Chains A and B, each alone.
Chain A
Amino acid sequence: MLRAFQRTFFPAAWLGWQVESNWTDPLIFFVFSALKPIASVMILVFMFNAVSRSGTDPALYAYIYLGNALYIYVGAIMAGTSYSILDDRERYRALKYLYIAPISIPVYLLGRAMARFMTGTLAVGITIAAGIVFFKVPIHPMRANWPMFFAALALGVLCLAAMGIILGSITLTLRSEPWFLGESVASALYLFSGAIFPITLLPATLQPIGFLMPMTYWLELMRRALLGSGSASFPTLAAYSNASLFGILAALTLGFGLLAFILHRLFDRIARDKGMIDAQSNF
């Protein structure tokens, strides 16, 4: 069991790191992993500057900035994992050979997710650093609760990887436009995660989606860890203690993990029925 896990997970993570961090061209790699996310938070910075003249709390600025910087992980890990499997199929034409190898595809994807996490960390780190240095975001690394930060990060990464495995399994069965799925889901869930506005601002019928999404609790925990529990935040989850947020996140991670396992089996069967494992989508 463990051996089978290791011989799949580590090579997959290594492969992901090799193909996603193109060190042969560090400049391009840097542009893609850093400048792009920074450009996207700049919009936020300008927006916030415009609004804050009317007297919004600068501590809330840090809260929102962090939410956006950390949300990069969602695109990197969740959407990224579902790209990995399409890349394997269509760009490298290697998926069929992976598929007939004695490995577990979810474990393989977990390895690829780990590589996406590492390249994502680069982007998140640079974005947060840029926030502190250039955009006067009041974050004080010395005051952060690092053990809490890493615990929340680990849970979040696992959960996002599970969601990526689900999306990846689904994309394999789509005949047209599979490339849009990961990105669309990541963008859609952005609105339901409390990254930029409290989910209680959503129409009442849509709010349950936000409360079911692990990102909501994960972002809150990560922000509390970095900013300190007492600092300004959206009121949505203010009543929850750190422990209960951890409890919910852990339960959701477990739930999505199980779901990933079940849905992978289901969509794997559909993909084999339709003959999609080595198909080329019309892109």
Chain B
Amino acid sequence: MKPEFAIHTEHLGRIYKVRGNRREKRQLKERVALRDVNLQVPRGEFFGLLGPNGAGKTSLIKILVTLLAPTTGRALVAGHDVAKYPQSVRPLINMVSGGESSGYGLLTVRENLWLFAQFYGMDYRTTRTRIDELLEIVGLKDRANTKTSDLSTGLRQKMNIVRGFLTDPHVIFLDEPTLGLDVGASRDVRQFIRNWAAAKPERTVLLTTHYMAEADELCDRVAIINAGKVLDCDSPANLKRRLQREAIFHLEVSPLNGVVHGFEHLPGVRKFVHTPGDGKSELELILESDDAIGGVINTLTTHRARILNLQKREPTLEDVFVDLVGMSLAEAEKNG
């Protein structure tokens, strides 16, 4: 019987023990990376994990790919317990982490890829055709016989992406795969991943990102994760629809004259994010209804703040994040 879920976690938790500094007498401190994570990803789904730095995305992936032991709870991938039967999980999965350059510098691109294909027991012909195919797609074909050490970081990352997809995994884990790639390359990679997933309905993708647009564009469903907790999990459209009744406004103000603190108490203001900028401040407001904007404008004018621009817009995943976490992704990253 084929397992219904490609990924299934129950009360999954992970705590790191970190050694304190001298003043803390080098005692072991606990840092919670994941708490009570319950996720079900059906086979064939393109699933996203969206969260700021330090949210626990990489930790979750590391547990699912058998690199890291969970502290509590359990995780099944393709129906197998990752902690108990890692050897049953490994042939079915692969992983790509972005923003790092891995690989053996003395080997050529083709040799690096060939090596990993061997470890998965792939035969000569399949290996050759797949390497050629994938190198072509990511635009590395003419570099196949270049030593990896002579590649730029971005090109090495493309090689790493090919390594991940080369083995045609049932479930692929992509940890910020476009991190460090330029705009064009990121777009190509996203396009490639989407096509890859669409080509066979049973292929499952778990992608982590802190780019809202990436999650929105690619994922069937997204889990929003912050400080180790999954706050919400749904399709991007449904997540945004929850904010449909709310009104989202974007304001540019100069000078702000310290008004921001007054907003918390204004009726109808659910959440707001303030981004100070050059000579002007930007405000994102999530209001319970359009009416509340009147109060906001009143407060601004009584404080002699000048409104440069006011715009109502459609909710984005960024707004969903603000609504759930109480701050923007950028702020969460600063605090994390």
| 9 pairs from A and B in contact (CB 8 Å cutoff) | A15-B104, A19-B107, A93-B102, A97-B163, A99-B66, A100-B65, A100-B93, A102-B121, A272-B68
CB-defined contacts of B93 to chain A, threshold 8 Å? 100
In the assembly, what is the distance between CA of A98 and CA of B111, in Å? 15
CB distance from A85 to the nearest CB of B (A): 14
Q: Select the residue from A96, A102, A272 with max chain B CB neighbours within 10 A.
A: A102
Which stretch, A3-11, A123-131, A196-204, touches the partner chain B? A3-11
Given A3-B121, A15-B115, A100-B94, verify A278-B103 contact (CB < 8 Å).
no
Of B16, B62, B90, the contact of A278 (CB 8 Å cutoff): B62
Count of A-B residue pairs with CB < 8 Å: 80
CB distance from A14 to the nearest CB of B (A): 8
CB distance from B114 to the nearest CB of A (A): 8
Of A18, A175, A277, the contact of B107 (CB 8 Å cutoff): A18
Given A94-B103, A275-B16, A278-B67, verify A100-B95 contact (CB < 8 Å).
yes
Per-residue CB proximity of A163-197 to B under 8 Å, as 1/0?
Answer: 00000000000010000000000000000000000
Check A11–B115 contact: CB distance below 8 A.
yes
Check B116–A97 contact: CB distance below 8 A.
yes
Check B120–A102 contact: CB distance below 8 A.
yes
Given A7-B118, A15-B115, verify A102-B106 contact (CB < 8 Å).
no
Given A269-B69, A278-B62, verify A7-B95 contact (CB < 8 Å).
no
CB-defined contacts of A15 to chain B, threshold 8 Å? 104, 107, 115
Given A97-B163, A272-B67, A275-B16, verify A103-B104 contact (CB < 8 Å).
no
CB-defined contacts of B163 to chain A, threshold 8 Å? 97
User: Any chain B CB within 8 A of the CB of A134?
Assistant: no
**Given contact pairs A93-B100, A101-B116, a sample of 18 additional A-B residue pairs in the complex whose CB atoms are under 8 Å apart:** A10-B118, A11-B115, A11-B118, A19-B106, A93-B103, A96-B67, A96-B97, A97-B95, A100-B66, A101-B119, A101-B120, A102-B121, A269-B69, A272-B69, A275-B16, A277-B67, A277-B68, A278-B62
Q: Which of B72-116 contact A (CB under 8 A)?
A: 87, 90-91, 93-95, 97, 100-107, 111, 115-116
CB-defined contacts of B119 to chain A, threshold 8 Å? 7-8, 11, 98, 101-103
Given A7-B118, A8-B119, verify A100-B104 contact (CB < 8 Å).
no
Q: What residue of chain A has the Cβ atom nearest to residue B105's Cβ?
A: A92
Q: Select the residue from A14, A18, A24, A103 with max chain B CB neighbours within 10 A.
A: A103
User: Any chain B CB within 8 A of the CB of A57?
Assistant: no
Check A94–B118 contact: CB distance below 8 A.
no
Of A3, A8, A92, the contact of B104 (CB 8 Å cutoff): A92
Per-residue CB proximity of A1-31 to B under 8 Å, as 1/0?
Answer: 0011001101100110011001010000000
Q: Which of B126-159 contact A (CB under 8 A)?
A: none
Check B106–A24 contact: CB distance below 8 A.
yes
In the assembly, what is the distance between CA of A92 and CA of B14, in Å? 27
Interface of A is mostly: helix
Per-residue CB proximity of A246-283 to B under 8 Å, as 1/0?
Answer: 00000000000000000000000100111101100000
In the assembly, what is the distance between CA of A3 and CA of B91, in Å? 14
In the assembly, what is the distance between CA of A100 and CA of B62, in Å? 10
In the assembly, what is the distance between CA of A277 and CA of B66, in Å? 10
CB-defined contacts of A102 to chain B, threshold 8 Å? 87, 90-91, 119-121
CB distance from A92 to the nearest CB of B (A): 5
Given A15-B104, A24-B106, A92-B105, verify A100-B67 contact (CB < 8 Å).
yes
In the assembly, what is the distance between CA of A119 and CA of B77, in Å? 41
A residues within 8 Å of B by Cβ?
3-4, 7-8, 10-11, 14-15, 18-19, 22, 24, 92-94, 96-103, 175, 269, 272-275, 277-278
In the assembly, what is the distance between CA of A92 and CA of B101, in Å? 8
Check B101–A93 contact: CB distance below 8 A.
yes
CB distance from B272 to the nearest CB of A (A): 38
CB distance from B208 to the nearest CB of A (A): 15
Check A97–B102 contact: CB distance below 8 A.
yes
CB-defined contacts of B118 to chain A, threshold 8 Å? 7, 10-11
Per-residue CB proximity of B173-201 to A under 8 Å, as 1/0?
Answer: 00000000000000000000000000000
Q: What residue of chain B has the Cβ atom nearest to residue A270's Cβ?
A: B69
CB-defined contacts of A22 to chain B, threshold 8 Å? 106
Q: What residue of chain B has the Cβ atom nearest to residue A272's Cβ?
A: B69
CB distance from B127 to the nearest CB of A (A): 11
Check A92–B120 contact: CB distance below 8 A.
no
Q: Which of B7-40 contact A (CB under 8 A)?
A: 16-17, 19
In the assembly, what is the distance between CA of A12 and CA of B100, in Å? 23
In the assembly, what is the distance between CA of A10 and CA of B66, in Å? 24
Check B103–A92 contact: CB distance below 8 A.
yes
Q: Select the residue from A3, A97, A98 with max chain B CB neighbours within 10 A.
A: A97
CB distance from A83 to the nearest CB of B (A): 14
CB distance from B149 to the nearest CB of A (A): 10
CB-defined contacts of B105 to chain A, threshold 8 Å? 92
CB distance from B109 to the nearest CB of A (A): 14
CB distance from B3 to the nearest CB of A (A): 18
Check B102–A94 contact: CB distance below 8 A.
yes
Q: What residue of chain B has the Cβ atom nearest to residue A98's Cβ?
A: B119
In the assembly, what is the distance between CA of A98 and CA of B105, in Å? 16
Given A92-B104, A100-B93, A103-B119, verify A273-B62 contact (CB < 8 Å).
no
In the assembly, what is the distance between CA of A274 and CA of B121, in Å? 30
